Structure 1
């Protein structure tokens, strides 16, 4: 019998049981890395285009050199590694609330782990991104040229109810304080563009854009899509 599934790690968390597994996808003859939280699938290495485009689209909207970038949500690491591919990135801070996820990369369990942790520009930080955004900015505290966020399924569908306040005007104003003038906030979403959220976003950031990122779904033979919101901080 051929073993199709291998559990690489299992950790109980406050949000549910977190599982990293590798499986062989026979229809494509590839190894697939998947993350589950409880019974819910969070991410798969089969579908990384939109995660990478979160970095590409977000950083394309940022002017200047020697950029300081903050990524909220480490996951499989594809957004962070895509950001590192931009030579203008001087520092990359990646925040994840789950110590196990950071440990996966430090143990080189995932395909991009070595590239990520081996880059001297990278700092992996175990913290609550949403809590960090709520905190007041102390004099001399770090501000960023770009904040790239991929944690929740969408502004309407959060992994944890405590995240919901970020997607309000008050929450976005708090986040904007962590950006430098002209800095960019970019957000991944599994849902189609949300007109109501765009109105909320435009209350804080002038002229935000919702990019639809389409990609081939190798399992269905069709096309799937995600959304990447990009918003620039005016002042």
Structure 2
């Protein structure tokens, strides 16, 4: 099978040259969509299991029937669209630093774009997620039922070094201010569970767990893994659990 590439968009962004392309993947015999930043692959529609699980696991830990969800990182849209599949979600705000990425979906260039942008619960916002959560919530904002984050490769390997402060105790405390009491923070990572980061999370949140997400890799013929961290904002006045949660699948 001949591999064909079609460049759907190219833009120079503050963090480098961003390219969206569609190609045929011989290993699966279907079209896939890929995002590259310079020479680095950022994401592919061939591997979306963990991105979808970020929403599924995060919202499974959320309580209530009127969920307000904030997603950091739009990308190909699979995390956001999976959140919309939960009928309890009444509002979904997706923040991405790159207007180009938001534009892809507004132009319906990606497989899930129409489902995402045509849902009245969805708001796409061009902003810096990390700057947003560093700042105190504005009056009438915040109190999210869940914050789902998929921007960096992992807590140790950031796409932009200015993101590093989020993965500290102080950074997570700042993010926690944007959650409702008992709200959920969930984070995608390309690395295996990181015990040091788990301890950092336990200093701020309750119910901390790292889920290992295994999925078939059609390119290598083997199995690949990502990690989804899930934690819960502490009930006001309630101390941290005396028994820290263990990482597990």
Q: Give the TM-score of the pair, scaled to structure 2.
A: 0.92
Q: What residue number does 1:164 align with?
A: 164
Q: What residue number does 1:214 align with?
A: 214
CA distance in 2: counterparts of 1:48 and 1:90, whole angstroms: 24
Q: Are 1:40 and 2:40 matched, yes or no? A: yes
Q: What residue number does 2:185 align with?
A: 185
Gaps of 5+ in 1: none
CA distance in 2: counterparts of 1:172 and 1:27, whole angstroms: 40
Cα drift, residue 2 of structure 1 = 5.7
DSSP-derived class of the 1:187 partner: strand
DSSP-derived class of the 1:86 partner: coil
Equivalent residues in 2 for 1:66-81 (5 A)? 66-81=66-81
DSSP-derived class of the 1:11 partner: strand
Residue deviations 1:171-211, cap 9 Å, x none?
A: 00000000000100000000000000000000000230000
Equivalent residues in 2 for 1:13-162 (5 A)? 13-162=13-162
**Structure 1 residues 3, 28: closer, same or farther in 2, change over 3 A?**
closer
Cα drift, residue 25 of structure 1 = 1.1
DSSP-derived class of the 2:207 partner: coil
Residue deviations 1:33-54, cap 9 Å, x none?
A: 0000011100000000000000
The two structures, once aligned, show a CA RMSD in angstroms of 1.1
Residue deviations 1:8-44, cap 9 Å, x none?
A: 0000011110000001112321001000001110000
DSSP-derived class of the 1:142 partner: coil
CA distance in 1: counterparts of 2:169 and 2:142, whole angstroms: 22
Count of matched residue pairs: 235
CA distance in 1: counterparts of 2:27 and 2:134, whole angstroms: 45
Runs of 4+ in 1 over 4 A off after TM superposition: none
Q: What residue number does 2:12 align with?
A: 12
Cα drift, residue 218 of structure 1 = 1.1
Residue deviations 1:38-85, cap 9 Å, x none?
A: 111000000000000000000000010110000000000000000000
CA distance in 2: counterparts of 1:96 and 1:178, whole angstroms: 17
CA distance in 2: counterparts of 1:76 and 1:174, whole angstroms: 27
- Asked whether the equivalents of residues 142 and 177 of structure 2 are also in contact (C-alpha less than 8 Å), the reply is no
DSSP-derived class of the 1:207 partner: strand
- Asked whether the equivalents of residues 32 and 44 of structure 2 are also in contact (C-alpha less than 8 Å), the reply is yes
CA distance in 1: counterparts of 2:185 and 2:146, whole angstroms: 6
